[in-house]
Amino acid sequence: MQTLKESSEYLINSTNRNAQFKLMHPKRRFLIGLILILLWVTVPQNHAQLRAKADSSKLFQLLRSTEHSPSKSALYSALIPGWGQAYNRKYWKIPIVYAGLATVGYFIYDNHHNYVVCRDDYIRLYEDPEAEVFNKDDIHTTSQLLPKIDEYRKNRDMSVIIMLAVWGLNVVDANVDGHFFNYDVSDDLSLILSPIQGYLPGKESYLGINLVFEMH
């Protein structure tokens, strides 16, 4: 019974508040609505700005750090191919990276150029079957140009995907080398093999090999 009474009072109060809001001056209602909208918009934006500021602060700290970092190696190679390899002092890998990117870049340019030429020839032949063509295969019919247009377009798109893959491998390689940068592979590490002779109780002697791994 008490619960029903409380519910009735809540409904009455809500109705009164709605009625008071409707009777409020239009300018005041407009100002209240505008304030609520601004609060609704600015609060999430402030949260996103704080999060972006924290992420940028972490990135800045990473770049300022003097300690050799695999993450920094990967970031450098993601920004400029070969930069991470230089940071890891693997200078001999830089020409390989740029040779791969240049090769794929040439195929992107060549396929896109042929695609544009064939497409323009198709448009000219569609309007005038006797028009001059400029494609390298010297095709003069629209029916034969259509497969060539699709072929060059697909090859161009595939070359772009390969370019992204080469760029990604450049980043992965820099990251892996960054992990092994401080790995000791100097001459102070040695593995010594030496023969040994042992005796077992009640049995004859035996021969074996002793492995000694030394770190100086």
CB-neighbour burial class of residue 36 (10 A; exposed 0-12, middle 13-18, buried 19+): exposed
pLDDT at 60 over 50: yes
In this predicted structure, which of 22-36, 42-56, 91-105 has the lowest mean pLDDT?
42-56
Q: What is the rounded average pLDDT of the residues 198-202?
A: 62
1 has pLDDT over 50: no
Q: Grade residue 68 by pLDDT with cuts at 50, 70 and 90.
A: confident
CA atoms in the 13 A half-sphere facing the CB of 189? 4
Taking every pair of Cα atoms in the chain, the longest distance, rounded to a whole number of angstroms, is: 112
Tell whether pTM > 0.85.
no
Q: What is the mean pLDDT of residues 91-118?
A: 95
Spatial contact of 174 and 191, defined as CB atoms under 8 Å apart:
no
pLDDT at 144 over 80: yes
At 164-191, the pLDDT tens digits run 999 999 999 999 998 888 765 555 556 5
**Region 94-113: what's the mean pLDDT?**
95
pLDDT of residue 119: 94
Give backbone dihedrals phi and psi of 183, rounded to 5 degrees, phi first: -75, 125
Mean pLDDT, the chain, whole residue set: 76
d(CA 55, CA 57): 5
Average pLDDT over residues 34-38: 62
pLDDT at 96: 94
For residue 191, the cross-strand partners are 213
State the Cα–Cα distance between residues 80 and 77, nearest whole angstrom.
5
What pLDDT, on a 0 to 100 scale, did the predictor assign at position 93? 93
Pick the closest to residue 170 from 80, 81, 102 (CA basis): 81
CA 158 to chain centre: 18
Task: Sketch the domain layout of the chain as residue ranges.
Answer: 2-64, 70-179
Q: Is the pLDDT of residue 197 over 90?
A: no
Does the pLDDT of residue 152 top 60, yes or no? yes
